[in-house]
Structure 1
Amino acid sequence: MIYAFRQATIDEIDQIWTILQQAILRRKNEGSQQWQDGYPNPEVVRNDITQGHGFVYLENGTIVGYVAILINDEPAYAGIEGKWLSEGDFVVYHRVAIDEHHLGKGLAIQMLVAIEEYALQQGIYSVKADTNFDNKGMLRIFEKLGYTYCGEVYFRGAPRRAYEKLLSA
């Protein structure tokens, strides 16, 4: 298998939205409240891509994952109830989703490792993320990859668990 990680293009929005819809349904079927309020939606994905924040993970040229990546740009993180490990530059990612036909291969972990490599390429040594309290899969991934729980942040009025991982060159 050949894997690649790159910026998404606008003509890939339909494929990306299909993957996100699958993830939204998985969250619902697992009893999670995450992503059950109309977010994310196609307009969010379009904005990700047009602003250069949308990234895809590919297996043999086929899109199997999606994530939005931003640098130093998450206003909700300034209001953390808790404390971040670092105060400097950071990469933050949102909307992690893997195609349902490719689950169980560890692709989410591979994609998050690719995000860490992306951060280092930008000269940034902090990666921050958050997830819903009931997203057991993502919580396990944070643990496996050595993220530290830092506290709670709020999105659309709901608390989310916030994590940070410090990287070394």
Structure 2
Amino acid sequence: MNNSIFRLARESELAIAWAIVQDAIEQRRRDGSQQWQNGYPNEQTIKNDIAAGNGYVLVEDEEILAYAAVIFGVEPAYLEIEGAWLTSGSYAVVHRVARASVSKGKGIATRLFEHVETLSLEKGVNSIRIDTNFDNAPMLHIVDKLNYVYCGEIYYAGAPRKAYEKVLVK
């Protein structure tokens, strides 16, 4: 996993984390995606993640290159799925994945997900669930590359989202 460190974001890093997420929001817009174009996520969302102990950063050479919320617990939107999850036990949820624009094409998002897998296993959680918009090509590429399994559709604020799960230990 290179010399990358995956750790909880600090309150003092809110501005950096938010700037990375803003870059991702703008990239989604340029790509023609509808995801993240309605005021979510916003700076308060990221602040809440960090305060709740769910905001994580990927750091290389003392530079924050990516941000994600990793939540260990029940995701209410995942309680109903048009389809079926692979497992019924505990799981980690990954939301708000964003990488710094300076790291584009360097495998940062892949490394972030590898770290999430390690963290999940360390916490005794053997499954990771994520969802993404139908038009988020970069995230759809990552879930395919990392062998996540398409499980069906979930709904966020009435909008359908593609839901995926990866079982880490069978």
Q: Which TM-score band applies after superposition, normalised by the shorter structure?
A: over 0.9
> 1:131 maps to which residue?
132
Gaps of 5+ in 2: none
Within the alignment, does 1:163 sit opposite 2:155 as a pair? no
Displacement of 1:76 after TM fit? 0.4
Q: Which runs of 5+ in 1 are unaligned?
A: none
- RMSD of equivalent CA atoms: 0.9
Equivalent-residue separation in structure 1 for 2:163 and 2:98 (angstroms): 18
- State how far apart, in whole Å, the 2-side matches of 1:84 and 1:40 are: 25
**Separation in 2, partners of 1:83, 1:168:** 18
Supply the distance in 2 between the matched residues of 1:35 and 1:93 (Cα, whole angstroms).
15
SS of residue paired to 1:32 = coil
Who is 2:153 aligned against? Answer: 152
Give the Cα separation in 1 of the matches to 2:41 and 2:50.
Answer: 13
Aligned to 1:53: 54
Distance across 2 between alignment mates of 1:119 and 1:55: 13
1:91 and 2:92 aligned = yes
1:48-103 alpha-carbon deviations (Å, 9 max, x no partner): 00000000001111100000011122100001111000000000010000000111
TM (norm. structure 1) is 0.98
Residue of structure 1 in register with 2:10 after alignment: 9
- Where do 1:81-120 residues align within 5 Å? 81-120=82-121
Amino acid at match of 1:33: Q
1:35-56: CA deviations, max 9, x gaps?
0000000100010000000000
Secondary structure of the residue aligned to 1:141 is helix
Q: Which residue number in structure 2 is paired with residue 22 of structure 1?
A: 23
Paired amino acid for 2:149:
T
TM-score normalised by the chain length of structure 2: 0.97
